[in-house]
Chain A
């Protein structure tokens, strides 16, 4: 019975160890902020952080996630005020919004490794699909979040 550490809490789940973490989150724990888009690590809708690293959990067996620190969109910040989230609200980045939890998690992971990313960093590291085409505001939002993060620290 895998024990998971999700957003700072330890949870037991009774599932087959090969179940992708995505479905444990969504169907067993009712944490539906993490989305299903393709199931084959192509779209990024299911992006979460595993030990701080952006990870597409639709292809991550739950057994491989035990003992790791898992952060989902629900746990990214206490009040929805992570710099990325604040920048997203400021710029009205989401359209339909379905890809955005994954997009935000990918952006947050990029910023934690590279606090001042260049456009080419963004091009290389943000490979999520957004069918609504919010990319212009995603790019702007990442730069804005980088600014907001330094303001917080200052």
Chain B
């Protein structure tokens, strides 16, 4: 357990410092909290009466409570969920709670009391609920011990509830605030008991988000809004062909433009302009003539990539990620097999807030304000790029204007540090244009798949082979050695067991992957590899059901005999949608489901197609995340998942010409608007006993549910995304 976290052994400037940036109160006093240079690292700002009970909990004299959250908030609501977990164990009054981000530097200095900062893979809560709750419980025990000591009674006779400590036998009661100072001096218990989920009053309840107020007034400062004294603005252009290099550049015109301070070479593949305002920097950047050497990559286009992926479908160098039975033999001996091919394109994350970072560098230290999904990794990256020891660097986290995986990659931070290093002592805010964000993205991997099945007498697949051909994210991170190239993460939702287990009972089943990488960098994209895998499987099963004249719900039921949780969400989505009801012509219902990130999710979509034009009417979603920390936020995540996932399925495709992405902004890379959004009805049905993620699983079921509904409505099977190429959307 985490109670070995040391209390009060660290220097006062770290433990008592108010984290003004990134806290709930940040907006109002934003500029005030920064005293450069490196104020945030070394200065011990105003000592105050607030007592840190342990790393997780600060109790203020006025009885308000601050809970510290290490994971990033990018809209998914993890911040509120994690505070709920701490507050529940603490026994505090929810209306008195606020939050703050500890910094990665503080974390290191204190030997990581908050655990991982990494925020991705829908792990914000499911990976940390235990130690987060323990953090709250330890603080509760300390407050109780302090009150008991004051009253001279056994702590076991006291309880904490609603920000009060109560001594039951005597009826005495005191506030958290009045015992906080004493509590902060006591030795933390090494063991604590967590509440029984049946007794939860804050967890599992639809608590309002803690970060809403400043988001509706414009007061919240995102990374793009950071302003420091003397700060200059940077715009950057990196080689639009990934892997290409800068040969030279002519900046004579740019240097003469108003507001321009510097035109700089950055790394070996970019040029930046630093100016008084970002607009000036961007205008001047457009006037810089840059020579690129795009090499072999400059010859690649979408057709050549498709050709490579198609070959992978028949290649022998595939890595087997899941195999049971004798799939290939059964298929080889079959009189007839059914087979279909599908494809999934490159997609960009395109969070609304473009990439940015603000960095100040000196020979001795470096500090950065970064919207990041992983504060600790950002600190490593910064120190590296700054050429300084980690202890002399600091990262300040901010609330993210969207992440979706993109902000777990810190390429933009490296650039910002490299620029700042060339202008020592001056804070530099680097902001990417939307075009830069599109061209220099790290993308959803491109893949194709062929599914081949032999059906038994019942029309069910006796053998199923899924061959995937395409990119590997892990390969881009760290190329694996040997042959065949192995990336087990490719098999999300197809895995033999675990959080991404394949849910269908098929006797002979084989999933394998022929790794085919391209020069465009693949990366974690909300949902990661379930997006294509679930699209492939759920489309194909629907094809098999239709081919055998079976109702797609019945068909899946027969394959889910050993997956009761999966069957339960499927049944719920279908029954909420009124599966089986008579529909008008041109209208259809479609199903899809999966197990992903530890949760079970299903969707039933109703669409109509009139004169070739798609109208998505409604989606009924069912989600079983095991424990549901905040049902309202889960509903928001599920609803939002359909917008993100269906935006991708409807419109999102990056095509490549001469090595570069062709879609440079939202005019050619559209995103769903309110008019296209189907109504979404979400049924959160937590069965308890496990902790599944909620930010991502639903992403994967939207597209196949809609595609299956389109088939039901029209008899047209779409096997290549995005849909826009085949249907008016």
Contact = CB atoms under 8 A, between A and B. Distances in A.
Q: Is B a genuine binding partner of A?
A: yes
B308 to A, nearest CB: 30
B667 A98 contact: no
Contacts of A85: 216-217
B213 A89 contact: yes
Interface string B276-296: 111100000000000000000
B350 A131 contact: yes
B673 A95 contact: no
B75 A96 contact: yes
Contact of B354 (A36, A72, A73, A130): A36
A94 B76 contact: no
A interface secondary structure, majority: loop
B680 interface: yes
A124 B675 contact: yes
A61 B632 CA distance: 42
Interface string B651-677: 000000000000001110001111101
Contacts of A98: 222, 351-353, 401-402
Interface residues of B, number: 60
Contacts of A93: 212, 216
Nearest to B664: A40
A31 to B, nearest CB: 8
A33 B278 contact: no
B399 interface: yes
Interface in B56-81: 74-77
Contact of B224 (A35, A101, A129): A35
A135 B278 contact: no
B639 A136 contact: yes
Interface residues of A, number: 57
Contacts of B403: 96
Q: Which one of A15, A97, A138 has the highest number of Cβ atoms from chain B below 10 Å of its Cβ?
A: A97
A5 to B, nearest CB: 18
A59 interface: no
A129 B77 CA distance: 20
B224 A74 contact: no
Contact of A135 (B75, B632, B677): B677
Interface in B630-647: 632, 636, 639-644, 647
A39 B352 contact: no
Contacts of B643: 130-133, 135
A79 B218 CA distance: 12
B220 interface: yes
B4 interface: no
A15 B259 CA distance: 10
Interface in A11-54: 15-16, 19-20, 23, 26-28, 30-40, 42-43, 45
B211 interface: yes
A122 interface: yes
A6 interface: no
B642 A96 contact: no
A126 interface: yes
Given A42-B665, A124-B675, A133 B76 contact: no
Contacts of A126: 673-674
17 contacts: A15-B277, A19-B277, A27-B277, A39-B433, A39-B434, A39-B665, A40-B434, A43-B671, A88-B212, A94-B209, A98-B401, A126-B674, A131-B352, A132-B643, A133-B640, A133-B641, A133-B677
Interface of B: 74-77, 208-209, 211-213, 215-222, 224-225, 227, 233, 258, 276-279, 350-354, 399-404, 431, 433-434, 632, 636, 639-644, 647, 665-667, 671-675, 677, 679-680
Given A123-B675, A131-B402, A137-B636, 4 more contacts: A43-B352, A74-B219, A97-B211, A132-B402
Closest 4 CB pairs of A and B: A33-B218, A133-B643, A98-B401, A96-B75
